[in-house]
Amino acid sequence: SPPVGASPGALNPFDRRLKRKQKNWAALQAEPAKCDYLREEVRGRGRGHPGTFPLALDVGSGRGYIAQHLTKETVEKLIQVDIAENALKNAVESEIPTVRVVADEEFLPFKEDTFDLVVSSLSLHWVNDLPKAFKEIHQVLKPDGVFIGAMFGGDTLYELRCSLQLAELEREGGFSPHVSPFTAVADLGHLLSRAGFNTLTVDTDEIQVNYPGLFEVMEDLQGKYILCMGESNCSWNRKPLLHRETMLAAAAIYQEMYGNSNGSVPATFQIYYMIGWKYHESQAKPAQRGSATVSFGDLAKIEGLLKRGKK
């Protein structure tokens, strides 16, 4: 596959080489299990579609967060793909026969019509070419195969981003991104449809965590959600540090604009959930948006439901 990394520009907002380093560092931390809270929340809330699958692919698998909630009765064989070799080396063991492949999510090294199921949890928001990534996922699916994914949405950490931007404009006369850009939900269904998926379901959810103040938000993001999950900002135009005066101003703005009545401040994580099928003539008509009732957390219990869902 092509080498990781590309020149900065409008079509390549992320430094993929830096992303690999960040994820490799995150995978080697002493107690990575403490860093999995947000992924567990997403897994538990994620809308899914039931089924039994001979061969599944986990794109951007990390340490195997999804595999922990699958059984051999649900998935007979699993291939985990991640850009970071340390994440795969430190993957949590699963009862499912598993093959781990180091590869970039943007360049899947598999043949067309290979997988019955593709899943991806909180990985695709870092790819430079999301339409291409969706097309590659669609290509490696078999006809009547299904893609189930979750990714961070456009309103993720909007309180933090707005506070930092306003503080930098006030104190430094301009601002640089400290939180990476995210896709808007209005674009997601269109991108999946253009990639060839049908019978689409796209939904959103929000996870809100309260903190004493901005500094605690930043500390927790650095120590838990961001670094331990390899989620640090890898935009080419990121700014390496913030001046103390700017941080103090941002903390005051955060409190004034978003503070709760008890003095805490919220940090919002928006999650997009998506389900798309590769066309097969036997498929039923699309269900209504938001009608899916099975979560990532129920994947271990869904044997046999796929056929019932298609009747």
CATH code: domain 16-281 is: 3.40.50.150
Reported confidence tier of residue 58, pLDDT bands at 50, 70, 90 = very high
Pair 214, 163: CB distance under 8 Å: yes
User: What φ, ψ does residue 183 adopt, rounded to 5°?
Assistant: -75, 145
> Phi-psi bin for 154: left (phi > 0), alpha (psi -120 to 50), beta?
alpha
The SS3 assignment for 228 reads helix
Give just the sign of the alpha carbon dihedral 151, 196, 78, 23: negative
From the list 115, 113, 2, the residue with the least C-alpha distance to 58 is: 115
Task: Give residue 195's pLDDT.
Answer: 95
What are 25-55's pLDDT values in tens digits? 444 444 444 445 445 554 554 444 455 789 9
What are 209-250's pLDDT values in tens digits? 899 999 888 877 765 444 333 334 444 344 455 678 888 999
- Average pLDDT over the chain, rounded to whole? 75
Task: Give residue 289's pLDDT.
Answer: 58
Task: Give residue 5's pLDDT.
Answer: 44
What are 108-162's pLDDT values in tens digits? 999 999 999 999 988 887 777 888 999 999 999 999 999 998 888 888 889 998 9
User: For the chain, what are the domain ranges?
Assistant: 16-281
Q: What average pLDDT does range 71-76 have in this prediction?
A: 86
Task: Give residue 264's pLDDT.
Answer: 95
Distances (CA, A) of 211 to 40, 102, 114, 150, 263: 19, 36, 45, 25, 9
The better pLDDT of the pair 40, 201 is held by 201
Given a cut of 50, is residue 16 above it in pLDDT?
Answer: no
What are 258-310's pLDDT values in tens digits? 999 999 999 998 888 888 999 988 776 655 655 665 565 555 444 443 444 44
pTM, rounded to two decimals: 0.71
